[in-house]
Amino acid sequence: MNTQAPLWQHWQLRRDADGLAWLTIDRAGSKVNALSADVLREFNQVLDALQADRPQGLVIRSGKSTGFILGADIDEFGDVRSADDAQALVERGWTTFNRLARAPYPTLALIEGNCLGGGLELALACRYRLVADTPDTALALPEVMLGIFPAWGGMQRLPALIGAPAALDMMLTGRRIDARRAAALGLADARVPVRLLDAAARQQVLSGRARRRARGIGGLLNWRPLRGLVAARARKQVQAKDPLGHYPAPLAIIDTWEKHNGDPLRAREQTARLVQSDTARNLVRVFRLQERLKGVARGEPAVPIRHVHVVGAGVMGGDIAAWCAYKGMSVTLQDRDTALIAPALGRAATLYARRLKDKRAARAALDRLTPDPEGRGVARADLVIEAISEREEVKEALYRSLEPRLKPGALLATNTSSLSLARLRSVLQRPERLVGIHFFNPVAKMPLVEIVTCPGDTPEAGQRAAAFVAQLGKLPLPVHDAPGFLVNAVLAPYLLEAMRCVDEGIAPATIDAALTAFGMPMGPLELADTVGLDIVLDAGKQLTQQAEPPRCLRERTARGDLGKKTGAGFYRWQNGRAQKGQAGTPPTGLAERLVTPLIERTARQVADGVVADADLADAGVIFGTGFAPFTGGPLHYRDNQGGRVRPPGPIEPTLSPNATFTETGRSDP
């Protein structure tokens, strides 16, 4: 017998003849499932119906191809204006999921795709969980990334299920885990091939098996007398990473788990303070900025790139090729000979082994990456990416040789960060087919990719480039052709100011400590060492004009201390790590001094039309440089500092805004 409640917009309930109920969430008017107030209200009505006519078991699944449930409705966070509002928001999900957990019939969450935040908390309230054995299945409690905590039962149920250490790691990092890891942790009862999901769900929910519980040391550490030991260690780790307490959510998670067994209703004041904090508001802003970048590639005709040909197997070109193959594309990688391509293949193999875990999947990814010194893949490629040396005449010669071999409709892209796109494309018969697709190093970790276009371009090439970037799981940022585009342009004065501080006698470790305390993921001098001081200096010579490079930079490059790649720069490097030594007490206002030129340059790029508006500029600088997310972005930070940072005006010559600050290697074909 099938029944359908006509008033339910977001849920469909179907009952089998044997009494098993299948409940599908398919939020109306949305491409994704999110737990809004309306969705939860209807869910309670569903539970009322099931209470009145009890099923043999309940399976909850998604009707969306975009995943299971992506969490709470972020838009409703803006309605929280008081402690009472915060309490009502928490109680809404807490009460509903407790009701699900107490259901007198067995319940199962059938998870395909993303199961995040409130979606995972709903799944945790079920007796069982099965996950689809697919690459896009991911489970996480990412609330900490929004400056809040899992308030709908996650802080209580996750430690009870997988043990305190593993649960705290998930909650404090927001890290996503795949289907394999979920099953290994015990977060899922099993991972199942998609074709067997329905049969497995039926068997599991009617099995009569007891609910899983954490065992061993992880389970024992949930015991109240031992929680303090786990909490103390976790607290120490959090404070080491965030000594100034810019992000209050991690400590709130630890406190609520330790003192209240994960019950946020017993920590009312802390909950309200957290939800209403500036950090939470700014991190929600960052989330929305991220969604806006994702939206750059939405709504356009889907023309997937299946074959990519990359010319230049240096660090950037090789790693771009490796990432494309990792994401399922066929890739041919060209350089002068196979010996130059070999290091890129070695790095790719390391990447796949680390990321994919499964040897067969890693082998398949490596098989998709083909050495092609003769460039035969050009004729088959949907997209050809050039990542060779930053010499205009070399690139132009390459384009002349490539253009006659491109198949109809193929796109040509350059990864340049320091040359004019308008000048480069002038040698082509069809200049509009060349677009800038500017990746950052390391390609596997950096989420942002700049999409560079010229005035007068038709939208087509930029839209196809953005769609390609989205295929790679990256965030496309549209920028106009200008020296340094956005990210490298704003990093230039920031790095220069840090080096001026070294010339004034401030220790590099002290400078970097001031900026990491401010919230940067890496200090400016460690960043310069990582990029390579020769690259920083050479880039500076391009447009410095009357500005003399800092003495500390000239001296180090003159003696061959180029940073990480030579083992010495501003720091000594061992095993890939900077040996910084003890940082001193930074002068008052040092961090503000260094971020001010970065903020001013960001404002100038907006004023000059390099990027469309301040929000996109904030998004680009956050995701391209790691600018402290808790601030909401450099321009948002400036506006909330009472305008103390100077408005855009004439900018003195500095290290070249064309600088390849985020790139460390190229190769000629």
Instruction: Just list the catalytic residues.
Output: 417, 438, 450, 488
Distance CA 126, CA 456 (A): 55
The tokens 């771009």 sit on which residue?
A: 320
Asked if 464 contacts 458 with a C-beta cutoff of 8 angstroms, the reply is no
Asked if 149 contacts 252 with a C-beta cutoff of 8 angstroms, the reply is yes
Distance CA 405, CA 421 (A): 21
Strands 128-132 and 20-25: unpaired
The tokens 């950096």 sit on which residue?
A: 446
Distance CA 656, CA 488 (A): 9
Report the 10 Å Cβ neighbour count for 269.
10
Distance CA 112, CA 133 (A): 8
- Is the Cα dihedral 520, 525, 526, 529 positive or negative? positive
Please give the structure tokens belonging to residue 512: 């970097």
Name residue 455's amino acid. P
Distance CA 172, CA 544 (A): 44
The tokens 């989205």 sit on which residue?
A: 470
3-class DSSP assignment, residue 401 = helix
* 163 closest CA partner among 223, 102, 253, 115: 223
Name residue 624's amino acid. G
Residue 554's region, left for phi above 0, alpha for psi from -120 to 50, else beta, is alpha
Q: What burial class does residue 396 get, using C-beta atoms within 10 Å of its C-beta: 0-12 exposed, 13-18 middle, 19+ buried?
A: middle
Q: What is the CA radius of gyration of the chain?
A: 27
Report the 10 Å Cβ neighbour count for 545.
10
Report the 10 Å Cβ neighbour count for 473.
10
Query: Torsions phi, psi of 242, nearest 5?
Result: -135, 70
Distance (Å) of CA 177 to CA 170, 183, 209: 9, 10, 25
Distance CA 272, CA 249 (A): 12
Asked if 21 contacts 53 with a C-beta cutoff of 8 angstroms, the reply is no
Question: In the Cβ-directed half-sphere of 536, how many Cα atoms lie within 13 Å?
Answer: 31
Distance CA 137, CA 110 (A): 11
